[in-house]
Each structure stands twice: as C-alpha cells, then as structure tokens.
C-alpha cells in the first residue's frame, strides 16, 4: 500500500515521458491528458477493460492473437469486462491499496466480483452510499451506447471513480481509451463493415454484466446490514 495516489503518479510519469520525447525530437504531436481525478480528495479508481473483443480491424495478426488470448483466458470472454487496475483509499491507514492489470487477467468470475466488493471497502466500512449513483450512470451509458449503431469501442475502458473521503458522495463514470474505436457507415453486404451493423453488443454485454454484479453486491450488503441490525 502507498500514501501516494498511484493514478496521479502514473499520469505524471507518462506526461514526463512525452515531454522528454519531444525534447529529443522523437515526437512532434501530443494529445493532452486530463486528470479526471483532480477534484477528488482521495480518488478511489476502478479501471475496467470493456467488451468481448479488444483487437482492431487494422491490428497485425500477432497483436490480434495476443488480444484474443487475453480475452479468452480472462473474464472478458465470460463477462465482457475485466479488471485493468484499481486503487482504494484505506481510511485507517491513510494509504492506497491497489491492484494491477496482471492480477485482473487471472481473476475468475467469483474473483472479479470479490474485487468489486473490495473496491467499495475502505477498511472501515463499505461505501454503499456511492453505489446507487454509479449504477444509475452505468445504466444511462448503456442506453446511450444502445442508440449508437455501427460504433465499435474496441479495447475501450471504463473508469469508475468515487472519493475516499468518508463524508463525500462525489462520483464519476467515464469511457476512456478510444484509440481503436471506429465508425463504419457503409451497409454493403459484401463489405467488412457488415460486421459493424447495430450497436456494440460486446461493450453492451460487459456493461450489462457489470450492472448486474454491482446491483447484486448492493442488495447482498444491504441484507447483511439489516440482519446485523435485527440481531442487535
């Protein structure tokens, strides 16, 4: 665990690397990065890789096979979503607990659910207060993507953030990583774009399963609290 916000540190390192490449002449174009966690006192961050397909149409065979294997051996194939990174502020220690993408790749379905439970656990209590708002935003995102035919968000990620400050109910849900996203406007039966008719079903499948798991966690934790109150 660390007292330093790992997410902000990672962004700073990436920005420093870009500046260095510019200075030595290896890079002429930059894409500004926005730290979406800047307004959070203690940002608790969940980074999820969405969809059942992560490779783009233009990827090489080697890269395509690598991405297919990552999907087939992880919850991407069973849930349409896998853990890419997570940091959770622990109130008692004042430190962050975090998980990386390598751990996320080996999680089972039950392991993925347990990781989500851990994401809302600050070491003292479970932050059930932020769950309804997050679920509501995910449902809104589901409706939006459902209305976008022919868009594909291959290798896209979803960022879920809440403030680890106990009295704060600040949350954020954002789609990120659009490098491999495409739009196929053609509808010719013989064209490759025929595979892109309708909304992105793989991304929607991942969102649907994520919403189901979060609702299940919320309901079970509420039942557990109710049982404790009755016993007392």
pLDDT in tens, 175-212: 999 888 988 764 444 444 456 789 999 999 999 999 99
User: Reduced to 3 states, what is the DSSP secondary structure of residue 219?
Assistant: helix
The residue ranges of the chain whose pLDDT is under 70 are 1-33, 185-195, 228-232
Output the pLDDT for position 20: 44
Output the pLDDT for position 188: 46
Query: Would you say how long the chain is, in residues?
Result: 232
Query: What residue segments make up the domains of the chain, in order of their start?
Result: 35-231
Spatial separation of the C-alpha atoms in residues 134 and 162, rounded to whole Å: 9
Output the pLDDT for position 226: 77
Let me know if 148 is exposed, middle or buried by CB neighbors in 10 A (0-12, 13-18, 19+): middle
Tokens of 209: 């399963």
Output the pLDDT for position 147: 95
Spatial separation of the C-alpha atoms in residues 81 and 74, rounded to whole Å: 9
- Give the Cβ contact number of residue 195 at 10 Å: 10
Spatial separation of the C-alpha atoms in residues 21 and 18, rounded to whole Å: 5
Backbone angles phi and psi of 69, in degrees to 5: -65, -40
Output the pLDDT for position 26: 54
Tell which CATH classification among 3.30.470.160, 3.60.21.10, 2.60.40.10, 3.40.630.30 matches the domain 35-231. 3.30.470.160
Output the pLDDT for position 210: 98
Output the pLDDT for position 84: 96
Output the pLDDT for position 230: 67
Output the pLDDT for position 111: 98
- Specify the DSSP class assigned to residue 128: G
Output the pLDDT for position 87: 97
Q: Which residues, at least 6 apart from 138, have a Cβ–Cβ distance to it below 8 Å?
A: 173, 207, 210, 211, 214
Output the pLDDT for position 232: 61
Query: C-alpha angle 50/164/112, rounded to 5°?
Result: 35
């Amino acid at each position: 665990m660390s007292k330093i916000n790992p997410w902000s540190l990672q962004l700073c390192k990436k920005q420093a690397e870009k500046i260095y490449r510019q200075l030595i002449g290896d890079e002429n174009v930059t894409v500004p990065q926005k730290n979406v966690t800047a307004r959070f006192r203690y940002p608790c961050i969940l980074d999820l890789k969405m969809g059942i397909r992560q490779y783009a149409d233009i990827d090489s065979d080697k890269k395509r096979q690598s991405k297919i294997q990552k999907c087939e051996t992880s919850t991407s194939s069973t849930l349409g979503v896998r853990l890419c990174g997570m940091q959770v502020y622990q109130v008692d220690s004042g430190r962050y607990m975090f998980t990386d993408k390598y751990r996320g790749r080996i999680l089972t379905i039950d392991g993925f659910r347990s990781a989500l439970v851990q994401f809302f656990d600050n070491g003292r209590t479970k932050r059930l207060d932020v769950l309804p708002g997050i679920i509501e935003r995910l449902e809104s995102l589901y409706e939006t993507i459902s209305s976008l035919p022919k868009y594909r968000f291959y290798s896209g990620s979803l960022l879920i953030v809440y403030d680890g400050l106990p009295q704060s109910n600040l949350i954020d849900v954002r789609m990120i990583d659009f490098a491999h996203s495409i739009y196929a406007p053609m509808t010719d039966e013989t064209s490759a774009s025929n595979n892109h008719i309708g909304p992105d079903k793989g991304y929607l499948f991942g969102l649907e399963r994520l919403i189901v798991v979060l609702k299940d966690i919320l309901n079970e934790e509420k039942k557990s609290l109710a049982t404790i109150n009755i016993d007392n």
